[in-house]
Structure formats: structure tokens, C-alpha cells
Structure 1
Amino acid sequence: MYKLLLAALTSLLLAGCSDQSWRTTDVADIMPSLDFSLVDDNGDNVQADEYLGKPTLVYFGYTFCPDVCPITLARLGDAIRQLDDETRDEIQVLFISVDPARDTPEVLKRYTNAFGPEFTGLTGDKADIDAITNRYRIAYEYGEENENGDYLVTHSSAVFAFDREGNAQFLVRDSHPITDVQADIKRLTEKS
């Protein structure tokens, strides 16, 4: 009996030393690596490999979004600001617009600057946006224009996290507690 109890305790302790899964949603085995060709909020053509070397969080949305985008980005910005300086300096956030007709580089720059220095806006033509949204299984759809030419865009609200090599690691949903998001971001920065 004593040996059985000791073996069980040893197994639990060893399990605690192993690589634990993410607190948010683990997507490492189901999502492709970071890959795109877009335009940044400075108007420069950029490739995904230019963002390698730092853990990267990616969110798809649009600047005219009345609720989901600003709430998600503000929540993400708050989570990052609450981390220690070293962790915060390691993180970069890419906001990829699904509304390239209205989200010019200038508009994106003003918008992302409101959330913090870690945020960079990206856009491109519709074909470029479709290529990356299809790659990450992001659904979006344009609503009907009103009399002023304004319209809503329905879109997914998940945040994807990639390691320094551009490999997908986890996905953050609105329902994940902020403490879990912070723990996973910190762990992502600590991975070599």
C-alpha cells in the first residue's frame, strides 16, 4: 500500500514538472505557422518573417467596429500592460484589418496607437486579406451599407498566439479569464 501511494505521488510530482498545456485554447497542432504578405500601418509592404523573433499575437478586425474590436484590443492591451517590463517588451500584437477599403495605413496607425506601442496595424488588398483569413479559418462578412455608406463587418473575435519562430501556440477567446491570458503570454515569452 505504501509503495503504491509513493508511486502515485511520484507520478503526480513528475507530471507537474512536464510541459503543461496552455490555460487558453491550445492550437499548436491544428493551426498553420505565421505567413502573410501585407502592408503595415506605415504603408510599407511586409512579410510575416519580418515579425519573427518575438512572440506575436494576431487579431482580425476593423477600425470601424463599434464594440468587439475595441473591447478585445483594450482587454489585450490591459493584460500586456500588467505584465512585467521584460515580458511586455517581448510581445508584439498584429491587428489585421478585414476592411481594407476603409482601413488605410494612416487609419490603422491612429487606431492601433490607442492600444499601446506593442500594436501594429496591417492591411492589404482583398485578395491578400482573403489569403490570410482562409489560412487561419477566420470568417468575416460585410453588412449592407446604410444611407451614409457605412456598414458593419461580422468577424471572428479570437486572438492567435505564435512563438518566436512563427508557430501557432494558443488561441484566446473573450471567455478566457485575463489571468489565464497573462499566464500564457508570459509563458510564451519564456519559451526559447
Structure 2
Amino acid sequence: MRRRSGNPGGSLLIAALAALTLSACDRGAPETAIPEEAVIRLSDQFTSDFDLIDQHGRPVADEDFRGRTMVVYFGFATCPDVCPLALGLLSAALDELDENEREKIAPVFITVDPERDTPEALKAYLAFDERIIGLTGDAVAARKARESFKVYASKRPLPESALGYTMDHSSLFYVVDPQGRPRIAVHDTVNAEQLAAILRRQLS
């Protein structure tokens, strides 16, 4: 599991999406090769328990997604590079899926920085793709969500920055089956076509 950190800077979501458009346009390949090292099988010690608030201020719990396959990514809205690239990758992978497949997927972004990531902040951050559901909550609820997925996240002070701190965190996509069981984690090193292929396999 790689640990990533970010320093303050402008959002790269638009740039990330533009860079990933090339992979999203390569539809029709017979089969997509998926590197074995990109996919981690998860044990029963991983759960998907959370009770949070979405970017519209509505309470959302893991049970609300039963019957759909969740793709969960943990990050934070002031992350300058890793999170925008990962969310751009997720957005491009959704574009690779057909409408019927997308209806079975719930793409979820859970903040590791609830202190700053209010529902309003997440709504603005995720405005580039309204399909992605942003979740936040108080410090206790956010910590419980991280613990259920065994996500690494740690505050790192930035004394020279106006933001004051950044968040070091792992960068993985967690795929949760329709019964709420986390099945696999996927490294963010895959491309959009590969991530889409992995999701199709989980839907079948």
C-alpha cells in the first residue's frame, strides 16, 4: 500500500481528466490486461461501515448502497495532485462503462480531512463529476470510516503554508460488493480502461 502526501496548490481535476481522456477513448479493445500487482484481495477484517454526510448535507450510511457495487476512494479536497489524479481516473473509468453497468456502481469519495472538508467544500470539489458521491462527517465518524477500510491517514504540519497542514494518506480504490463486503483494493497506478475492466469483473 503506497502512502502519498500532498502540498497545497491548485486543483488538478480538469488537467487530470484531460490527461485521462486518451485512455477513455480507447474503447473496443478485445481484452484489457490487468497487472496482478495492481489488485489486492481483501480479508474479512475489512468492513465498509460508515455513517456520514454527503455533499448535499444528507446523512448517508453504508447500508444505503446495498445492491450496488461501491468504489470507494479516500482523500481530501485540498490535495494538490494525488487525489485529483485518482478522481480523474475514476471519472474516466466510469465513462468506459455502459449505462447499465454504471447504474450498478456507486462511486464514493470519503474525506480524510473532515476538519476542512465540509459538505459545501466537497460539493465544489466534486462539481466536475456529479456521479461521485462525497462524504464527510465529524472527526469520530470519519475515523471510524477509515478504520473500517484500514486506511492510513495522518496530518502533517506545514508551518510555511497558510493552510497549516496537509494529509498524508494511502491511495487505493476499494471495491465493495452489493452485500457491503470489501472484496479488493486497486492501486491508483492502473489506467481508466484497466479500472473499468476490474469493475466489470466485479459486476459479473
1:120 aligns to 2:133 (yes or no): yes
The equivalent position to 2:65 in structure 1, one of 51, 63, 67, is 51
> Residue type matched to 2:171 in 1?
S
> Residue type matched to 1:148 in 2?
A
Question: What's the TM-score, normalizing by structure 2?
Answer: 0.75
- How far, CA to CA, are the matches of 1:121 and 1:173 in structure 2? 20
Change (3 A) 1:147 1:186: closer
The residue number in structure 1 matching 2:148 is 135
Structure 2: gaps spanning 5 or more residues: 1-34
Secondary structure of 2:157's counterpart equals coil
The equivalent position to 1:91 in structure 2, one of 87, 100, 105, is 105
Q: Deviations over 1:49-83 (max 9, x none)?
A: 01111110111100000000000000111011111
Question: What's the TM-score, normalizing by structure 1?
Answer: 0.80
Change (3 A) 1:167 1:160: same
> Residue type matched to 1:79 in 2?
A
Contact 1:160 1:172 in 2 (8 A): yes
Q: Which of the two has higher C-alpha Rg?
A: 1
Give the alignment of 1:74-85 within 5 angstroms: 74-85=88-99
1:159 aligns to 2:173 (yes or no): yes
> Residue type matched to 2:143 in 1?
D
Q: Deviations over 1:1-24 (max 9, x none)?
A: xxxxxxxxxxxxxxxxxxxxx964
- How far, CA to CA, are the matches of 2:133 and 2:64 in structure 1? 13
Contact 1:27 1:168 in 2 (8 A): no
User: Could you tell which deviates more after superposition, 40-49 or 53-62?
Assistant: 40-49
Structure 1 residue 31: deviation in Å? Answer: 4.4
- How far, CA to CA, are the matches of 1:140 and 1:29 in structure 2? 20
User: Could you tell which deviates more after superposition, 172-181 or 127-136?
Assistant: 172-181
Change (3 A) 1:167 1:151: same
Structure 1 residue 179: deviation in Å? Answer: 3.2
The residue number in structure 1 matching 2:26 is none
- How far, CA to CA, are the matches of 2:199 and 2:131 in structure 1? 13
- How far, CA to CA, are the matches of 1:159 and 1:120 in structure 2? 14
Structure 1 residue 110: deviation in Å? Answer: 1.7
Moved over 4 A (4+): none
Structure 1 residue 132: deviation in Å? Answer: 1.7
Secondary structure of 1:122's counterpart equals strand
The residue number in structure 1 matching 2:28 is none
- How far, CA to CA, are the matches of 1:177 and 1:106 in structure 2? 30
Secondary structure of 1:102's counterpart equals coil
C-alpha RMSD of matched pairs (Å)? 2.1
- How far, CA to CA, are the matches of 1:33 and 1:80 in structure 2? 24
> Residue type matched to 2:110 in 1?
I
- How far, CA to CA, are the matches of 1:26 and 1:144 in structure 2? 31
Give the alignment of 1:1-150 within 5 angstroms: 24-114=38-128, 116-145=129-158, 146-150=160-164
